[in-house]
């Protein structure tokens, strides 16, 4: 996997100099946390602080979930599926405990690095033991049906890639009903900007940054990438350049939301909830990477990095037929 990351062309070959503007650190909506832990100079959060933050997030998500259920009148089928998921999680608990121990106690994991001022604007950084030279970087946007996504879901991926000399930044973002799809895309873009600006402080190579997303995270990351390409091709002011991304890897993502409404409804993500997440039926084309990609100008297409999509044929959450088709 690491060897394959050196194949795409350099960013300079995809475009000229973009109108890239550094964020004003004094702006209230663009905070930048100082580097911390390994390779950094700031204060690393303690275990007690992390547990407190996790407890607060759990309480918030639970409260928002009950508000969502009460306001949308979700039926017993969804509740039964949630209970089945919890039982499944309990059965997998021995494996979770091992990963959890690594997540909370490994010195190679920098937890809850703040990248923005919105709720859940945090990311976890997995640092390789070998830091003799700048390491490639993967920005990973986790899945979770746009409702239960969480940065810790990427712990196993972060651990394995870090063992192969790759820094992994697992991004957290606002979930529904804390935010809708535009908020999630904004959060992902903010996190990418943060990584591009600061990854050298963590021992990363700013010329080898790769974007990856899984399931709903693949959809969110693709939306952020295409949105940025459109802005950059139109000469708008930007905070990170698409040319800073070497490749995009989409894992089991859905890229045409119009074709997935009925499928998700049958799977328990009811139509009313999904359309609320996507900000209404009229917004589905705006947040469908397949539709957006077909309308891109030649200038925007020229900016895009290599795009690699993976999808298992046995995936029932998002069928493999939902892969990007352009």
Residues with a known catalytic role: 215, 315
Assign residue 210 a region (left: φ > 0; alpha: ψ between -120 and 50; beta: otherwise).
beta
Answer whether 116's CB lies under 8 Å from 31's CB: yes
Q: Is the peptide bond before 186 cis (omega within 30 degrees of 0)?
A: no
Report the alpha-carbon angle 21-113-110, nearest 5: 130
Beta strand 135-141 pairing with 204-214: parallel
Assign residue 250 a region (left: φ > 0; alpha: ψ between -120 and 50; beta: otherwise).
beta
Residue 208's H or E segment, with its range, is: strand 204-214
224 vs 89: CA distance, rounded Å: 31
Tell me how far the alpha carbon of residue 210 is from its chain's centroid.
12
7 vs 10: CA distance, rounded Å: 9
Burial of 286: CB neighbours in 10 Å, binned 0-12, 13-18, 19+ = middle
Beta strand 122-126 pairing with 109-114: antiparallel
Helices (H) and strands (E) in the chain, counts: 10, 7
283 vs 257: CA distance, rounded Å: 9
What are the distances in angstroms from CA 80 to CA 74, 85, 262? Answer: 11, 9, 20
**What's the start-to-end Cα distance of the chain, in Å?**
26
């Amino acid at each position: 996997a690491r060897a394959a990351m050196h194949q795409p062309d350099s960013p300079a070959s995809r475009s000229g100099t973009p109108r890239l503007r550094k964020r004003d650190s004094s702006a209230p909506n663009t905070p930048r946390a100082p580097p911390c832990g390994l390779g950094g100079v700031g204060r690393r959060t303690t275990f007690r602080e992390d547990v407190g933050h996790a407890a607060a997030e759990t309480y918030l998500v639970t409260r928002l979930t009950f508000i969502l259920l009460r306001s949308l009148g979700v039926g017993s089928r969804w509740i039964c599926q949630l209970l089945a998921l919890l039982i499944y999680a309990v059965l997998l608990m021995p494996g979770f405990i091992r990963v959890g121990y690594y997540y909370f106690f490994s010195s190679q994991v920098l937890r809850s690095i703040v990248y923005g001022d919105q709720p859940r604007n945090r990311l976890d950084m997995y640092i390789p033991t070998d830091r003799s030279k700048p390491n490639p970087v993967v920005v990973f946007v986790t899945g979770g049906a746009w409702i239960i996504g969480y940065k810790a879901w990427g712990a196993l991926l972060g651990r394995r890639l870090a063992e192969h000399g790759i820094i992994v930044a697992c991004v957290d973002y606002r979930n529904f009903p804390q935010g809708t799809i535009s908020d999630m895309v904004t959060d992902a873009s903010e996190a990418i900007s943060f990584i591009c600006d600061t990854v050298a402080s963590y021992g990363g190579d700013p010329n080898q940054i790769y974007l990856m997303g899984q399931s709903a995270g693949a959809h969110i990351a693709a939306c952020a990438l295409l949105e940025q390409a459109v802005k950059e091709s139109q000469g708008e002011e930007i905070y990170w350049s698409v040319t800073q991304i070497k490749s995009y890897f989409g894992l089991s993502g859905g890229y045409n939301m119009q074709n997935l409404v009925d499928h998700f409804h049958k799977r328990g993500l009811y139509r009313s909830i999904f359309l609320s997440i996507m900000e209404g039926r009229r917004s589905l084309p705006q947040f469908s990477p397949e539709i957006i990609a077909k309308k891109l100008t030649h200038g925007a297409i020229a900016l895009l990095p290599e795009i690699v999509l993976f999808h298992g044929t046995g995936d029932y959450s998002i069928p493999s037929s939902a892969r990007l088709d352009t």
